[in-house]
Chain A
Amino acid sequence: MSLADTQRDFLGQILATPAPTLSEGMRVYHHAYRARLSGAMAETYAQVWAWLGDETFHSEARAYIEQHPSTQWSLDDYGQDFADFLAQRFPDDPEITELAWMDAALRQAFAAEDADILDATALMQVSDWETVRLLLNPALRHRPIRSNAPALWRALSKDETPPEVLYFEETSGLCVWKTALASRFRTLEADEYALICALAAGQGFAAACEGLTLRASDSDPTEQIGAWLGQWLTEGLVTGLAGTETTS
């Protein structure tokens, strides 16, 4: 048997479910694989674990591990599909998926590239707003949500009693990013979230604004967008400008 064949057979025995009859030595490897992956998932998914409780979380993590062999060298990358997996397992409880997504996104943001936030005075030097692009925080992750998962997450992370679960008719946006080495998150109402999505997809600022049809018809779009932009700068969501000449 070639070395590669031996290794395929060996790893096959480790990954096999249920465990085949194995020697004590092979059982050590069979057990260690699952212990390592479930340990990594418990570390990443701390709040969804707290929400589901020990029994359900460990049962779901075990089921996930058996169905999802690790394919990356980095253990940190394991379990990235757990939120989608939970969405299938608990289709009527979107807060579970959204909590799992937050756990993973906050962890990813923690290890993402660091960036300085953009000084607001840089905007005053923009000469051509038609072509300027806002460079968003490299740690930014976002998704639409329809529950109060951020409030649940916040309470769970402080070991406080979480509020009652709420489901909303309209989806809003949830953004996770990092400033000063600390991960943070915020819920965005639909219009602001649509604009962030357009900017994150690489659209120029002017084009993204033009594509925005404000749902609140009585609000002044320019004033509203200006207010958002000011908040993004304060929060460190914008880290640079590109695609335009600036005056000196």
Chain B
Amino acid sequence: MFPSVASFVGFGLGLRPPHYEAILASPPPIDFFEIISENFMIDGGRPLHVLDRVRADYPVAMHGVSMSLGSPEGPGPDYLRRLHALMRRVEPLWVSDHLCWTGVNGRNSHDLLPLPLTEAAMATVCRHIDRVQSFLQRPLLIENPSTYVTFAEDTYTEWGFLTELCRRTGCYLLLDLNNVFVSAHNHGFSAQAYLDGLPLERVRQVHLAGHSEGETLLIDTHDAPVPDGVWALWAKVAPRLSHAAVMIERDDEIPPLPELLAELDTARRLASPAVYV
């Protein structure tokens, strides 16, 4: 059995190339950085040098988008070898990826595709989580995705599925509140019921992000400030997640660092509301 994933309490940001110079010139007042693992699963080059310098000053969480835990094949040997090498280099707080699949039969969508929430999917995801956790010798954090379709054959709710995953594999959770908000809107469930149904004690990290609006659906584009609805969700659940690390996640239309730092201040403020007497 692997060691548990210790809590890390703090407020962080994603490490993104447009901010490299600013971060190296003047390390910002945050508690950790999160990296997209795949961006650093390379043989060499400047990003790895930047990462080494950042790691010297901050704890780093590794967040992946290509593990494809829900596909029949799961992650391949090249992927796992590179992930493991990066993990040894970074000594991260934890390694996370999504409840999703990215491709099948040698074709890759590079997207976080939705799983039918069935026993068959449960068996597949558990098999791959077990395999990855054994390979890395540490538990994973699994993130809830934004989804735009559901399947008629679903027998689990998403929160029920994640709860059972934790129970069967010993994995932890990365809770993306924007994804809860988006999927709740898209599929007509209650975000509060989702949060009430999750084992929040298994959450080690929280993502706060923005989204965009489609015809009738909300779309998880990570290209906008955290909207009021997601802030409200965070304000409500924050007292129950005081053991988790929190970050603003922005992957596109990336603003200057001060704007994200201001959003992070909002996250801090909502987590520790002032007491008026």
**A residues adjacent to B (C-beta < 8 A):** 1-4, 6-8, 10-11, 14-15, 23-26, 28-29, 32-33, 36-37, 69-76, 78, 110-114, 138-139, 178, 181
Pull 30 A–B residue pairs with CB atoms less than 8 Å apart, ordered by A: A3-B72, A3-B121, A6-B116, A7-B101, A8-B105, A10-B113, A11-B107, A24-B216, A28-B148, A28-B214, A33-B109, A36-B110, A69-B108, A70-B107, A70-B108, A70-B109, A73-B38, A73-B76, A73-B78, A73-B108, A75-B38, A110-B45, A111-B45, A113-B43, A114-B43, A114-B44, A114-B45, A138-B44, A178-B44, A178-B45
Measured CA separation A10–B72 after assembly (Å): 14
Q: A70-B110, A74-B38 are in contact. Are A4 and B45 (CB under 8 A)?
A: no
Q: Are B41 and A25 in contact (CB under 8 A)?
A: no
Q: A28-B214, A33-B109, A72-B108 are in contact. Are A111 and B44 (CB under 8 A)?
A: yes
**B residues adjacent to A (C-beta < 8 A):** 38, 41-47, 49, 66, 68, 71-72, 75-76, 78-79, 101-111, 113, 116, 118, 120-121, 124, 147-149, 151, 153, 186, 214-217, 219
What 12 additional pairs, Cβ within 8 angstroms, besides A8-B104, A25-B147, A33-B111?
Answer: A3-B121, A8-B105, A24-B148, A28-B219, A29-B149, A36-B110, A37-B110, A70-B110, A73-B38, A74-B41, A76-B42, A181-B45
Q: Are B109 and A14 in contact (CB under 8 A)?
A: yes
A-side interface mostly: helix
Determine the chain B residues whose CB is within 8 A of the CB of A11 once the complex forms.
103-105, 107, 109, 113
Determine the chain A residues whose CB is within 8 A of the CB of B113 once the complex forms.
7, 10-11, 29
Task: Specify the chain A residue showing the minimal Cβ separation from B218.
Answer: A28
Task: Specify the chain B residue showing the minimal Cβ separation from A180.
Answer: B46
B47, B110, B151, B153: the one within 8 Å of A75 (CB) = B110
Measured CA separation A75–B79 after assembly (Å): 13
Measured CA separation A7–B42 after assembly (Å): 29
Q: Are A71 and B107 in contact (CB under 8 A)?
A: yes
Q: Are A26 and B68 in contact (CB under 8 A)?
A: no
